[in-house]
Amino acid sequence: MTNPQPYVPRGWRRGTHILRFILRPLVRLDARGTDYLPELGPAILTPNHTSTTDVLFMAAIYKMPPVTLAADKWEHFPVVSWFLKHFGQAIFVNRGQVDRSALRSAMAVLKEGRLLGLAPEGTRSRDGVLQKGHDGAAWLAGRTDALIVPVAMWGHEDLTASWRRLRRPTVHIHVGEPYRLPPEARRARSRDLAQYTNIIMRNIARMLPEDQRGPYA
């Protein structure tokens, strides 16, 4: 593994200052456990995914921007695509199948000792309830022995409804204690990954309100 240095995209720090300034009158940000966020990897940040605004709130608290996995549909929206590529260092993923090319790119990021952001649910929850996790995060963490950093977010599922009532909603972002999968995960076959995905999902679920933990309650 090379000796990595934190990579900060041009304009990131100024951009996050502006973002926090914009968010301050709109929401109350309840951010906890941010000291657990690493500056270097190999590490995988594993947030739940409840809203298209997730990335904005996470950007407001990150010390260093991770490489993110984003649905390939966003690659075709010029402005959004530029932001994802520049600030999110995005790897675009074909969600309709197992995207082996994206997995290889993600593994290369971790082997370089960098940070990767990956929502294990794979797609956005429509009702804010945690969905069943996919095995990609477990496979990557097992193969690279990466640190896993659980992130639970809620309170921003329907921001416009709160704003219509002239309310300033509270958005919760709780970062849990980092951990690694057991050593035997390195040799896990596809059929054995579910047990490690359960570990990842339960570490997210335990920080969520009980009624949002879904199958991991």
pLDDT 10s digits, 153-169: 999 988 888 898 989 99
What distances in angstroms separate CA 149 from CA 73, 81, 146, 156, 181, one per listed residue? 27, 26, 10, 21, 11
Alpha carbons 114 and 118: distance in angstroms, whole number = 13
**Which residue bears the tokens 């991770």?**
66
Look over the chain and give the mean of its residue pLDDT values, rounded to a whole number.
Answer: 88
pTM: 0.89
pLDDT at 47 over 80: yes
User: Which segment of 93-102, 110-119, 157-166 scores lowest on mean pLDDT?
Assistant: 93-102
Burial class (CB in 10 A: 0-12, 13-18, 19+), 192: middle
- Note the pLDDT of residue 4: 57
The residue among 66, 37, 70 whose CA lies nearest residue 52 is 70
Containing 116, the helix (H) or strand (E) segment is: strand 115-117
CB 40 within 8 A of CB 6: yes
- Note the pLDDT of residue 96: 61
State the CB neighbour count (10 A cutoff) for residue 145: 13
